Structure 1
Amino acid sequence: MSTTLEKPADLGRDTTGSAPGAGIRPSDTTPRTPGRVSLWLRTHARDLVWLIPVLLVSAVVNFLNVGGSPQRIDDEGTYTAQAWAVTHLGELAHYTYWYDHPPLGWLQIAGYTQLTGAFERWDVAVLAGREAVLVAALVSVVLLWALARRLGMSRVAAAATGLVFALSPLALQFHRTVYLDNVAVPWLLLAFFLATNRRGQLAAFAGSAFAFGIAVLTKETFLLALPFLAWVMLRSARRETRRYTLSVAASILVLIGGSYLLLAAVKGELFSGTDRVSLMEGITFQLASREGSGSIADPDSLINRTLGMWWQLDPVFIVLSLVAAVFALLLPRLRPYAVLVLAMTAFMFRPGGYLPVPYVIMLIPFGALLIAGAADSAVARIRRRSASHRGLATGFVAVAAVGAIVAVPLWATQLRGFVLADLDAPLRGAEQWLEQNATTDQRIIVDDAMWVDLVRAGWDRENVIWYYKLDTDPAVQADSPNGWRDADYVVTTDSMRTFPGAFPQVQQAIDNSVVVASFGSGPQAVEVRRVTIDGAEQAAISLDDAVSQRARLGAELATNPEITLEDADRDRLIAGQVDERIIAVLAALAGSGSVTVSGFPVVSGEGDESFRQLAISSISGAPVADGDRLTPEGRALLDSLTGAYEPAEVAVSGDTVVLRYPISLRPLLP
């Protein structure tokens, strides 16, 4: 069943009884034909009363704390960096584009960020990408509403569809993540909405084919929905024009798909060749050579972890979607969408197949549509005593009611985490540590979520190496002839720890490095590791030697009566926890007068086992700072610190000067 808008009577006709324009003089009492916008608003006023609150709730919940939860991941960084490369580097990707995905997805993100200035508004680049995909999610809410109403669902059910789509913790997790699938969803929904049109089908079907083509060129896995879109078109097509309208739609779809082939052909990268990427290689990788996700029976398999993550986020939505899909097989208007959900769910378990983590994104809107649509139809059947399948309808309503009761506390807990938790703090902390303690000429192996931020902070793009490329991109390998040995730091995240051994050079860098700063814990943990050419074992030996040297020198310094410091700081000197350059500076100052130490501030992320900052408040009784300015004694102090004793950073706060020394993994003093 479908609903159509009625054209108001006499719209566009002269109702005065006179010939058009004859003897008509404007006056205040002359009735005016309402404008198209005002007429549309009056016609859809009741729909807007329901839709606008759904949109507002969706926007608030989705955007609130978008920078805190979930933590940024590598895939987000990749798509954001590719969009940033389009707008800031004039390139299709920040590394060699090798046809792993069609580029239209991040081109749309790039267009949004360029039009809105999103990259300039956010300090963290990935959040500009998140803004773009959240706007796409709000567009999807509107299209879901329109599709639900087109399918004959009540306004209550259409509103429920939008709310479930926007507020399910499973949906919210993925709405806030920069996946190409999120950009493709509104195009897919638009394709299905236009495919159900009963008027002007030539334009509607052409538009549907165009929208579906854009969806597929945004994320290629959406091609799986083609049989179901064709089914909807066949059901909706008028018999007298079916052959013509479907032929036009098919032709448009082929032309759009052919544009991707044309792009590769123009670049000379359609087929495989020596020292070049190719579209055929990308397709072969995606369809044949990519490693499968393993068996559902294997608790350590990728498919098991992926399904477990989905289930942990929202088991209620998953169960209700599948139950609603089974019930909707009895409902002709919802049957194509029910078969879509069930078939694509079964497709996940094909032997040897690869299951992408964002695969579920395409199913979420149809799951929400089926839950609300099946409940709407079931309630209607129960009210009509003569309706068929009333027993099944009653059973589904009971299951849906139980699901709603279970979902309320579960969703409340999950949503509270989304709007309150700051899971991204470890990544921000690691970035800040690098900006303050590493130099821009040092090479850093990173999760791609950090790539744009570090390049914007001043690093040359060649010195910020996306870990995936160190083992796979010949251009990156050419810039790193010594492999991992050319890197100074490696920043490890859960993404890098998930595939041990998959990237040999990255693994070597990790194995031959020591942790110098750590942020967060568990899956959110981020470690900044200093690469050591001699290996982590030798670095540990050198560090033990340094601690012994510090303890010996610190114990002597701690007894010097010219140095004033707290007992806790004295204990740190004796324990060998204070950097030997600080010990040498204090010894020199104590040799010519008294010195007051305010403390050894901890560098964020470094814990309390190593102190390489020194806070001094006075020398020989004279303050070294006044307000935020150095006194003559303070300036003399800094002028005297040269060579190995020159601090990497100096900060003045109140009456204190804080000296920060660079990272050292070995003894620096004889």
Structure 2
Amino acid sequence: MVQHRPVSAAQRLLSLDIVLALLGLAGGLRVLYLAAPGPALPTEAATVAHAYALGNLTTFADAGGAGVSPFGWLQLAAATMVSDAFGRSATALAAVRETVLVAALVAAVLSWILARRLGLTRWAAAAAVLLVAASPLALGLQRLVVVEHLAAAWALGALALITRRRARIRHDIAASACLLAAVLTSPLALFFLPAAGWLLVRRAPVRAALVVVLLNLGLGIAFGPAAGVLRPHLAAATPPTVTDWAALDPAWVVLSVLGLVVAPAVKAVRPLAATGLLLAATLLVPGVPATAVLALLVPVTPLLLAGIAQATARHRVPGGLESKPASALPRAADTTARLASTKDTNHGPRTGARHSRRIVVGAAAVVVAALAVSWSSGYPGLHPSVARGGPLAAARDWLHANASGSRLLVDDAAWAELANSGWPTGMLAPPAACSVACPPAEWAVFGSGETALRTHYPALDGAFAGAGPTAVFGAGDTRVTVWRLGLPPADPAAPPEAPARAHAGAALAASARVSPSPAAAAVLRDGCADPRLISTIAALAAIQPVGIAAFPEVAGEDAAGQPRRRVLLTGGEDGTTAFYTGQRDLFRPASVVRTADGVLVTYPLFAPPGLLPLTR
């Protein structure tokens, strides 16, 4: 039997220092890239909405394609409730991403523990965790709300328990529970069962039967009588693809492929190699989400690479004290005799050892250089951002200011964000509610997937009939559009209003009683000012001289083609304030505010037609 040397306090402290340093690096980088916009995952929004709904005891039906993981959603909901993430975070998505970040850190600690228990040295284990901590591919992947990150933590926890020295029955029971939790979180975690079984048989075949019985009992209940409540289903295959992820860290991808090929020859990591090969083969199956598979594969391949590197170093550079167990160390007498027998040689063994070390050091330098080049191009691809809001948060704030209390037709992402901001969930209708006919709604909020949703739910076309965008936030894949529904259709015979606004605005800008700034004059001449502002400024100019500092934009409305409905007026503030607060009916402003720069007048949306004389 191999005698394990006792671990000194200094060695324990060194291991603790290494783990804490790696956790600090991993956590810091993940916080920095938490709000990175890409690569983005379309199914994230539905998972966030389900987590919020469970945590707040309400119901939510997603638009489909996001998969099913009731146990995963429950874990996310519980974590956000304990940490009050929804109350602290700028957005609902960021709140749930915090939980995923914690899961990534837990997985890093478990990877270290597993590596050490598999026989890897302290520095080999550190290298494996460092790869996951700093790789752009892992950073981009482990910030997404994917339940497979939780499943990976459960699976690594089970393997760490199985490889524990002097394991007792309670550890086997805990390992069974962790494996069951991993599979209930994601069915892809089933691929960790071969590694778990292999390690169990390697440790104690008799004790393996207990784990098998407990796991089969749990799976039988979860996938049998309780299948309607607990059974998970994979999400649909959507971008990002394997190619998209590989572009963030091609060097790591190449190393991982080599590791999966070579690892079966290394005894220490052979069980993990079986799991890695099964997961890699799953990437070739059509319809399986690549992001979910990679979430489970990312913690595995660094352990394989570390095991291969350690085995190679031991083979090429024999004689290292740390690379051999205590029972394999040569006795002093044997060492003396060996040295005496070789002292008259030409130092062949010593020269060969130096040559082997050079080969190992050179190979390590090549790997480090390849990773450095790969990471230098991968990090910019993540586009770090200090902004924790984004277009959806801007749309949320706009709706609270302009449509508070209205019934909204929303997609999955908008449902979670608005519900988290206090909008009554009974006033939010997801696309799933439009399977036959859409409920009556006054506004609609959709992201860039609006076209696909309208194709999937034809009833949405009826709700959008005659509607036009009122505010647009962001661009491209992050675009969020707010629509006003139920407006009367425009008269096709009526002339357009923009020329009338431009004609009246140009006349107002040329008036001797009005002093607009260059920017304000351009807004008037371009026909971009609200007709109510043009009419009331002309009326005020008949009473007193008027200075126009600016027509401030309402965020999102310029992109939707809405006229500017705010103005900052200077000079004669008392008279200006009295004039606008005294307006009635169509010309009554939404607000009149005295500021340090003048009087800010804001009108509500949608000026009635026909306020300005039409021009030909």
Question: TM-score normalized by structure 1?
Answer: 0.76
What residue number does 1:613 align with?
Answer: 565
Q: What is the distance in 1 between the residues matched to 2:516 and 2:264?
A: 78
TM superposition shift of 1:594:
2.6
What residue number does 1:327 align with?
Answer: 262
TM superposition shift of 1:414:
3.3
Q: What one-letter code is carried by the residue in structure 1 that aligns with 2:125?
A: A
Which residues of structure 1 form unaligned runs of 5+? 9-38, 265-269, 271-277, 294-301, 625-632
| Corresponding residue to 2:474 among 520, 540, 543 | 520
CA separation of 1:236/1:533 partners in 2, compared to 1, >3 Å: closer, same or farther?
Answer: farther
TM superposition shift of 1:600:
0.8
More deviation, 215-224/171-180: 215-224
| Corresponding residue to 2:303 among 356, 363, 369 | 369
Q: What is the distance in 1 between the residues matched to 2:144 and 2:89?
A: 16
Spell out the pairing of 1:23-172 with structure 2 (5 A cutoff): 44-70=12-38, 74-88=42-56, 90-91=57-58, 93-95=59-61, 100-172=67-139
1:574 matches 2:561: no
Check whether the contact 2:565–2:604 (CA below 8 A) recurs between aligned residues. Answer: no
What are the superposed Cα offsets for residues 493-551 of structure 1, whole Å, 9 maximum, x if unpaired?
3x55677733434567678643333333333333334446678xx69x69971212312
| Corresponding residue to 1:555 among 480, 502, 506 | 506
CA separation of 1:662/1:496 partners in 2, compared to 1, >3 Å: closer, same or farther?
Answer: same
Spell out the pairing of 1:461-540 with structure 2 (5 A cutoff): 461-467=425-431, 469-471=432-434, 480-481=438-439, 486=441, 488-493=443-448, 495-496=449-450, 501-506=455-460, 513-531=467-485
Secondary structure class of the residue paired with 1:200? coil
TM superposition shift of 1:142:
0.8
Check whether the contact 2:591–2:602 (CA below 8 A) recurs between aligned residues. Answer: yes
Check whether the contact 2:251–2:371 (CA below 8 A) recurs between aligned residues. Answer: yes
| Corresponding residue to 1:379 among 300, 308, 313 | 313
CA separation of 1:396/1:235 partners in 2, compared to 1, >3 Å: closer, same or farther?
Answer: farther
1:211 matches 2:178: yes
Spell out the pairing of 1:315-464 with structure 2 (5 A cutoff): 315-350=250-285, 352-384=286-318, 401-415=365-379, 418=382, 420-421=384-385, 425-446=390-411, 448-464=412-428
Q: What is the distance in 2 between the residues matched to 1:552 and 1:263?
A: 73
Check whether the contact 1:328–1:334 (CA below 8 A) recurs between aligned residues. Answer: yes
Q: What one-letter code is carried by the residue in structure 1 that aligns with 2:504?
A: L
Q: What one-letter code is carried by the residue in structure 2 that aligns with 1:367?
A: T
Q: What is the distance in 2 between the residues matched to 1:385 and 1:322?
A: 30
Structure with greater contact order relative to length (CA < 8 Å, sep ≥ 6)? 2
What residue number does 1:663 align with?
Answer: 605
What residue number does 1:251 align with?
Answer: 213
Secondary structure class of the residue paired with 1:44? helix
Q: What one-letter code is carried by the residue in structure 2 that aligns with 1:49?
A: D
Q: What is the distance in 2 between the residues matched to 1:224 and 1:543?
A: 66
Q: What is the distance in 1 between the residues matched to 2:494 and 2:135?
A: 50
CA separation of 1:641/1:77 partners in 2, compared to 1, >3 Å: closer, same or farther?
Answer: farther
More deviation, 159-168/333-342: 333-342
1:230 matches 2:201: no
Q: What is the distance in 1 between the residues matched to 2:494 and 2:127?
A: 61
TM superposition shift of 1:211:
0.5
| Corresponding residue to 1:189 among 127, 150, 156 | 156
* Percentage of pairs with the same residue: 28
More deviation, 167-176/454-463: 454-463
Check whether the contact 2:442–2:485 (CA below 8 A) recurs between aligned residues. Answer: yes
1:648 matches 2:590: yes
Q: What one-letter code is carried by the residue in structure 2 that aligns with 1:330?
A: A
TM superposition shift of 1:109:
2.1
Q: What one-letter code is carried by the residue in structure 2 that aligns with 1:528?
A: V
Q: What is the distance in 1 between the residues matched to 2:2 and 2:405?
A: 61
Check whether the contact 1:71–1:524 (CA below 8 A) recurs between aligned residues. Answer: no
CA separation of 1:597/1:357 partners in 2, compared to 1, >3 Å: closer, same or farther?
Answer: same
Q: What is the distance in 2 between the residues matched to 1:449 and 1:72?
A: 13
More deviation, 604-613/135-144: 604-613
What residue number does 1:623 align with?
Answer: 573
Check whether the contact 1:542–1:667 (CA below 8 A) recurs between aligned residues. Answer: no
Q: What one-letter code is carried by the residue in structure 2 that aligns with 1:415?
A: Y
What residue number does 2:343 align with?
Answer: none
What are the superposed Cα offsets for residues 188-217 of structure 1, whole Å, 9 maximum, x if unpaired?
101112222352353332221110111112
What are the superposed Cα offsets for residues 31-72 of structure 1, whole Å, 9 maximum, x if unpaired?
xxxxxxxx9x66622321322211111111111252355587
TM superposition shift of 1:372:
1.9
CA separation of 1:395/1:508 partners in 2, compared to 1, >3 Å: closer, same or farther?
Answer: farther
What residue number does 1:22 align with?
Answer: none
Q: What is the distance in 2 between the residues matched to 1:546 and 1:171?
A: 53
Q: What is the distance in 2 between the residues matched to 1:2 and 1:129?
A: 46
TM superposition shift of 1:246:
2.5
Q: What one-letter code is carried by the residue in structure 2 that aligns with 1:588?
A: A
TM superposition shift of 1:143:
0.6
Q: What is the distance in 2 between the residues matched to 1:203 and 1:594?
A: 86
What residue number does 2:169 align with?
Answer: 202
Number of residue pairs aligned between Structure 1 and Structure 2: 577
Q: What is the distance in 2 between the residues matched to 1:131 and 1:310?
A: 21
What are the superposed Cα offsets for residues 454-497 of structure 1, whole Å, 9 maximum, x if unpaired?
12434221333344x2455x7xx5xx346xxx35223223x556
Q: What one-letter code is carried by the residue in structure 2 that aligns with 1:247?
A: A
Q: What is the distance in 1 between the residues matched to 2:499 and 2:174?
A: 74
Check whether the contact 1:79–1:106 (CA below 8 A) recurs between aligned residues. Answer: yes
CA separation of 1:379/1:515 partners in 2, compared to 1, >3 Å: closer, same or farther?
Answer: farther
Q: What one-letter code is carried by the residue in structure 1 that aligns with 2:80?
A: T
Q: What is the distance in 2 between the residues matched to 1:519 and 1:544?
A: 29
Q: What is the distance in 2 between the residues matched to 1:377 and 1:650?
A: 75
Q: What one-letter code is carried by the residue in structure 2 that aligns with 1:440?
A: G
Q: What is the distance in 2 between the residues matched to 1:393 and 1:359?
A: 37
CA separation of 1:663/1:263 partners in 2, compared to 1, >3 Å: closer, same or farther?
Answer: farther
What are the superposed Cα offsets for residues 270-321 of structure 1, whole Å, 9 maximum, x if unpaired?
6xxxxxxx569x87xx58xx87x5xxxxxxxx57x51221112222221111
CA separation of 1:3/1:72 partners in 2, compared to 1, >3 Å: closer, same or farther?
Answer: farther
TM superposition shift of 1:443:
1.3
CA separation of 1:81/1:591 partners in 2, compared to 1, >3 Å: closer, same or farther?
Answer: same
Q: What one-letter code is carried by the residue in structure 2 that aligns with 1:639?
A: T
CA separation of 1:65/1:580 partners in 2, compared to 1, >3 Å: closer, same or farther?
Answer: same
> What value does the CA root-mean-square deviation take over the aligned residues?
3.8
Check whether the contact 2:514–2:547 (CA below 8 A) recurs between aligned residues. Answer: yes
Secondary structure class of the residue paired with 1:617? strand
Q: What is the distance in 1 between the residues matched to 2:44 and 2:480?
A: 16
What are the superposed Cα offsets for residues 619-656 of structure 1, whole Å, 9 maximum, x if unpaired?
xx5224xxxxxxxx354234223322233344442142
